[in-house]
């Protein structure tokens, strides 16, 4: 085969490979569902304490949320 025919084909192949490697990366984040903790007592001031109680309830994590004038512990999981 003639090298004048191989070079453009090789160049096109390399460009196709490079285009697929640097293409847009789509990231999809899961939606989170919140459920008020049943075991947390008192006002919630520490996300760490809330998360520990939520883990005992079977949730992966938890966070403090202020509702009206009270801070409560809400457990969080992917929906």
Domain spans in the chain, listed from the N-terminal domain onward: 31-79
Closest CA to 37 of 12, 16, 65, 17: 65
Question: Which residues, in sequence order, are bridge partners of residue 73?
Answer: 64
- Its pTM stands at 0.61
Residue bearing the bigger pLDDT, 21 or 41: 41
Q: Where do runs of H (alpha helix) occur along 2-74?
A: 3-21, 47-56
What pLDDT score was predicted for residue 37?
Answer: 96
Query: Does pLDDT of 3 surpass 90?
Result: no
CA atoms of 51 and 6, how far apart (whole Å): 61
16-25, 26-35, 36-45: least confident range: 16-25
Instruction: Please state which of the four CATH numbers 2.60.40.10, 3.30.930.10, 3.30.30.10, 3.30.2350.10 is assigned to the domain occupying 31-79.
Output: 3.30.30.10
CA angle 68, 58, 46 (to 5 degrees): 40
Other CB atoms within 10 A of residue 14 CB: 10
Q: Average model confidence (pLDDT) for the chain?
A: 85
What pLDDT score was predicted for residue 14?
Answer: 72
């Amino acid at each position: 085969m003639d090298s004048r025919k191989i070079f453009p084909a090789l160049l096109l192949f390399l460009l196709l490979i490079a285009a697929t490697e640097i293409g847009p990366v789509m990231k999809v984040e899961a939606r989170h569902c919140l459920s008020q903790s049943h075991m947390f007592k008192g006002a919630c001031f520490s996300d760490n304490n809330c998360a520990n109680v939520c883990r005992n309830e079977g949730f992966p994590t938890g966070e403090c949320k202020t509702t009206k004038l009270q801070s409560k512990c809400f457990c969080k999981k992917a929906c």
